[in-house]
Amino acid sequence: MKYTRGIFVLLLALVVIQGSAENEDINQNISPTQSHTTATTEEELAEARGEEIDSDPTSEGSGAGEGCGCGSSALNRNHDEDALGLALEENLHDHVQEGAALKYSREANDPISMDHPEANVGAFPRTNQMNFIEGGTFRMGTDKAKIYLDGESPSRLVTLDPYYFDVYEVSNSEFELFVNTTSYITEAEKFGDSFVLEARISEEVKKDISQVVAAAPWWLPVKGAEWRHPEGPDSSISSRMDHPVTHISWNDATAYCQWAGKRLPTEAEWENAARGGLNNRLFPWGNKLMPKDHHRVNIWQGEFPKVNTAEDGYEGTCPVTAFEPNGYGLYNTVGNAWEWVADWWTTVHSPESQNNPVGPDEGTDKVKKGGSYMCHISYCYRYRCEARSQNSPDSSACNLGFRCAATNLPEDIPCSNCNDSTP
């Protein structure tokens, strides 16, 4: 299979930076008006240490953490008919032909009651909770972009209708119920491989790997890597049923949402929910990464990509219930696993006020938000509310998952903050 070797392919100048664990040169696109090195600024390092900083302190186009780390668009799949095989391509076409998701039977779409025998596995619920988000007006994006090329700016006022939002990322347990109910096969399973961080792969699995992603050599395409086997065929989720499901493509996420009677959130809905009622703040809890020296997010500590010291308690993903919720009662809206949203990718945004924006009508990549456990300030400073990245709808990786939204609360789905007046 052929893999895309560029990253953030834009009509901008290419410069060479020091980026790999072996200090090899890799190609990185940056704006001609920006300077970029792997070193972070004093302000950013202070921020990473949890020291008090201003509301949105860095200047536009600072370029902090632009590297192709955990959010690399170099992981887009490059469809090659000869490599995939005609049978696989036809199967995949049948799989996604109706709006990117299978149309399931009425029985498969029926909500699972909490007293259903399959509603729980161990002590972890099979059914996610949702919280009601009132909507209203919030400020989306920023006028002081940390990663200029990602289209984080400009700041604009966005007004949203009320909606519901999953309290947690979709877990392995929930996704297993979906698969068991519908016999769904993910795209990673159909393609036969998915991307995994080299540091998470066993030596036995590495022996069979002959390809790398040139723009991000710590990413390896692993045969047999999929949601049940996140690090390859010799790995298991048996002890991680309460962790976010990963190796999920946008098409997979859309299929799950349809089955659950939900949908993917728009980028605006996602960012509003992630902010938890706070405007002009870097993180869902404020501007200090570690308020009172307390970890609030699952990201990379140590030298990326060699060693994750796991000072936050986790080397890989963490339970979807870990850490404290934001002001809207939502968990892990940044870090842990990237989350797909509905919008097609664009870096061009109007500064004018908008109502219920849904992004471009078409495109080649879909937006993902929130960053992941692989994010590090020097490489992928995208564990911020306004941060964003993209991948093709069929792409998957060991740090890529999702959560759902809904316009109306699906039947039998618990709502944590609803009352008699909630619509």
Residues 63-85: pLDDT tens digits? 456 655 666 566 787 543 333 33
10-14, 143-147, 194-198: the lowest-pLDDT one: 10-14
70 vs 90, residue with greater confidence: 70
Mean local confidence (pLDDT), 307-315: 96
pLDDT at 374 > cutoff 70? yes
- The pLDDT confidence band at residue 127, using thresholds 50, 70 and 90, is confident
**pLDDT given at position 408:** 97
112 contacts 127 by C-beta, under 8 angstroms:
yes
**pLDDT given at position 73:** 64
pLDDT at 13 > cutoff 50? no
**pLDDT given at position 105:** 29
**pLDDT given at position 65:** 61
Measured in degrees and rounded to the nearest 5, phi and psi for residue 286 equal: 140, -150
Task: State the number of CA atoms in the 13 A half-sphere of 321 facing the CB.
Answer: 9
Percentage helix, strand, coil for the chain under 3-state DSSP, each rounded to 5: 20, 15, 65
36-50, 264-278, 323-337: the lowest-pLDDT one: 36-50
pLDDT at 314 > cutoff 60? yes
Determine the topology of domain 14-406 in CATH: paralog of FGE (formylglycine-generating enzyme) (3.90.1580)
Domain residue ranges of the chain, discontinuous segments joined by +? 14-406
pLDDT at 257 > cutoff 60? yes
DSSP class per residue in 69-95 = STT-GGG-B---HHHH-HHHHHHHHHH
pLDDT at 140 > cutoff 60? yes
DSSP H or E stretch at residue 21? none
213 vs 402, residue with greater confidence: 402
Mean local confidence (pLDDT), 329-337: 98
Residues whose CB is less than 8 angstroms from the CB of residue 51 and which lie 6 or more positions away in sequence, other chains included: 288
Mean local confidence (pLDDT), 187-194: 98
Candidates 37, 78, 20; CA nearest to 395 is 78
Q: What is the pLDDT of residues 39-50, one digit of tens each?
A: 344 444 444 444
**pLDDT given at position 247:** 99
Q: What is the pLDDT of residues 345-373, one digit of tens each?
A: 999 999 999 999 999 999 999 999 999 99
Mean local confidence (pLDDT), 227-243: 97
% of the chain beyond a pLDDT of 90: 66
**pLDDT given at position 309:** 97
pLDDT at 38 > cutoff 70? no
The Cα–Cα gap between 20 and 17 comes to 9
**pLDDT given at position 372:** 98
The Cα–Cα gap between 45 and 51 comes to 9
Mean local confidence (pLDDT), 269-294: 96
**pLDDT given at position 124:** 74
- The two structure tokens encoding residue 139: 């400020």
331 contacts 322 by C-beta, under 8 angstroms:
yes
Mean local confidence (pLDDT), 268-292: 96
Mean local confidence (pLDDT), 377-392: 95
112-116, 241-245, 350-354: the lowest-pLDDT one: 112-116
- The pLDDT confidence band at residue 8, using thresholds 50, 70 and 90, is very low
% of the chain beyond a pLDDT of 70: 72
- The pLDDT confidence band at residue 213, using thresholds 50, 70 and 90, is confident
**pLDDT given at position 401:** 99
Measured in degrees and rounded to the nearest 5, phi and psi for residue 413 equal: -95, 120
pLDDT at 188 > cutoff 50? yes
- The pLDDT confidence band at residue 35, using thresholds 50, 70 and 90, is very low
Mean local confidence (pLDDT), 96-123: 37
**pLDDT given at position 369:** 99
The mean of the pLDDT values for the chain is 80
**C-alpha angle 399-391-381 in degrees, rounded to nearest 5:** 60
Residues whose CB is less than 8 angstroms from the CB of residue 90 and which lie 6 or more positions away in sequence, other chains included: none
- The two structure tokens encoding residue 155: 């700041």
The Cα–Cα gap between 134 and 33 comes to 40
Is the pTM above the cut of 0.85? no
60 contacts 367 by C-beta, under 8 angstroms:
no
